[in-house]
């Protein structure tokens, strides 16, 4: 069975390499046509996509429609592709005269896209948009932990594209291992840090470039100069959508000590407003993806003091939206990315101390700051490093198609969305073209003293 799977993967790869070599994917018209096919397929299958997200993650219909947000990526690519793909002129230096130079984006070849389970459709399709726009062939590996969505991805892709152009390979860990054993021209992985290391190690054997979209403990800094109710609503929304299973969800709060009690009260009220007295019965609150993650999250519920939530049900994999007060930096809940509906609350007195605590830890995928103070905003922006920043909101920066999205340090490498996705899946080839009608002899041997002096002036001017 494993050997048969190996053969299937290798045959798909071989067919895609052969199709890529025909040059058909180089055509801008071809790429635009494929993006239009993808757009149409998403529209036609949207009900199935939403239902699959509800089945896999217990998503409310509203949040399930987040998966359809990949349509915005397609629309932007359709609108901007001709501009992205246009060669960029570069002015040669005077000693190159007569010459012209330019940079030409061209496709990499056959790429592998490995998706996660938390947004199992959107985070497969969004990078695919960049791969198609750049003119590549692609193999998609959806997460086996979201099986209903994986089936829908496979159905949609097979309805829209030939396998020799875009293919889907379903399966578990053994299929991922078989894929990673092959040589690709680029690997795009979204998931956790531990698997990201495995992907990078496998890619290194073939010197394959990688994009790693990982995660981390994204801090949320709260100053005392804020709109209290708006701040509380935006934090609670960003933390508890998809039951906290969002790579850029606020992982912990760092709150100015003076307003901590009032903010906690506002957060408690926001939870009640969103999900009612019994969040377990709310149609607007999701569930944990599987038992392994449920049990992992359960261990964090004993840290600190529970000031909201704390209830759980292993039969339905329900964990209430939970706020933890009196948490220490050394507690287990503060050691790894939580990736669930548990929000620790810590306090600070001086902004410099809060920044120092953030900077002492691995660089996060996102950083959030709530403050009206322009100087403090600039201080945080200049003194911290993170994949992205959102001021006075959470999560919403990911919804701006023109903003590159990606991590830094342990939260990932490379970026995508909009032109950044096109660039990720492109090689920017540098080209110099010279004429024959003038050829000064200063660079040719024999290297006389006069030519040496001329060359010194050229390189030191």
Distance CA 14, CA 139 (A): 12
Residues 38, 42, 43, 47, Cα dihedral to 10°: 160
Backbone angles phi, psi at 310, to 5 degrees: 95, -15
Tokens of 105: 């984006």
Q: Which of 63, 73, 213, 410 is catalytic?
A: 213
Q: Which of 137, 220, 247, 390 is catalytic?
A: 247
Before 446, cis peptide (omega within 30)?
Answer: yes
Q: Is 241 left (phi over 0), alpha (psi -120 to 50) or beta?
A: beta
Catalytic-residue membership of 100: no
CB 135 within 8 A of CB 31: yes
Residues 398, 400, 406, 411, Cα dihedral to 10°: -30
How many residues are listed for the chain in this entry?
461
Of 261, 221, 254, 257, give the one whose Cα is nearest residue 392.
Answer: 221
Distance CA 37, CA 315 (A): 41
Tokens of 236: 């609670």
Q: Which residues are CB-neighbours of 78 under 8 A, at least 6 positions away?
A: 32, 35, 36, 39
CB 136 within 8 A of CB 185: yes
Catalytic-residue membership of 352: no
Enzyme catalytic residues: 213, 247
């Amino acid at each position: 069975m494993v050997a048969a799977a190996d053969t299937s993967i290798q045959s798909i790869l071989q067919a895609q390499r052969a199709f890529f070599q025909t040059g058909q994917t180089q055509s801008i018209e071809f790429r635009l046509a494929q993006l239009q096919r993808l757009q149409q397929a998403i529209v036609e299958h949207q009900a199935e996509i939403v239902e699959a997200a509800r089945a896999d993650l217990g998503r409310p219909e509203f949040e399930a429609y987040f998966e359809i947000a990949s349509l915005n990526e397609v629309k932007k690519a359709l609108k901007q592709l001709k501009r992205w793909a246009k060669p960029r002129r570069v002015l040669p230096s005077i000693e190159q005269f007569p010459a012209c130079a330019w940079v030409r984006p061209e496709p990499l070849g056959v790429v592998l896209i490995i998706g996660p389970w938390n947004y199992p459709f959107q985070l497969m399709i969004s990078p695919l948009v960049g791969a198609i726009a750049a003119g590549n062939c692609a193999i998609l590996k959806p997460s086996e932990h979201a099986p209903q969505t994986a089936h829908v991805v496979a159905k949609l892709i097979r309805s829209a594209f030939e396998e020799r152009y875009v293919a889907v390979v379903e399966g578990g860990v053994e299929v991922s291992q078989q894929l990673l054993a092959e040589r690709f021209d680029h690997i795009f992985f979204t998931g956790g840090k531990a698997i990201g290391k495995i992907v990078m190690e496998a890619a290194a054997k073939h010197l394959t470039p990688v994009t790693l979209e990982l995660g981390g403990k994204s801090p949320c800094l709260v100053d005392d100069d804020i709109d209290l109710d708006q701040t509380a609503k935006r934090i609670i929304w960003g933390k508890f959508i998809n039951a906290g299973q969002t790579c850029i969800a606020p992982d912990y709060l760092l709150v100015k000590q003076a307003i901590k009690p009032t903010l906690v009260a506002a957060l408690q009220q926001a939870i009640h407003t969103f999900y009612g007295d019994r969040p377990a019965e709310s149609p607007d609150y999701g569930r944990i993806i599987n038992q392994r993650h449920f049990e992992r999250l359960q261990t964090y519920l004993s840290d600190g003091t529970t000031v909201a939530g704390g209830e759980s049900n292993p039969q339905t994999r329900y964990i209430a939206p939970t706020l933890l007060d009196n948490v220490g930096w050394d507690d287990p809940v503060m050691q790894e990315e939580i990736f669930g509906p548990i929000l620790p609350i810590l306090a600070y007195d001086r902004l410099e101390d809060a920044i120092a605590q953030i900077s002492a830890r691995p660089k996060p995928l996102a950083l959030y700051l709530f403050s009206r103070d322009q100087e403090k905003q600039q201080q945080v922006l200049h003194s911290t490093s993170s994949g992205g920043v959102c001021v006075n909101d959470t999560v919403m920066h990911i919804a701006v198609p023109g903003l590159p999205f990606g991590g830094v340090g342990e939260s990932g490498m490379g970026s995508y969305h909009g032109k950044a996705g096109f660039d990720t899946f492109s090689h920017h080839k540098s080209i110099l073209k010279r004429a024959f009608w003038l050829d000064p002899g200063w660079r040719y041997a024999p290297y006389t003293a006069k030519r040496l002096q001329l060359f010194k002036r050229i390189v030191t001017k």
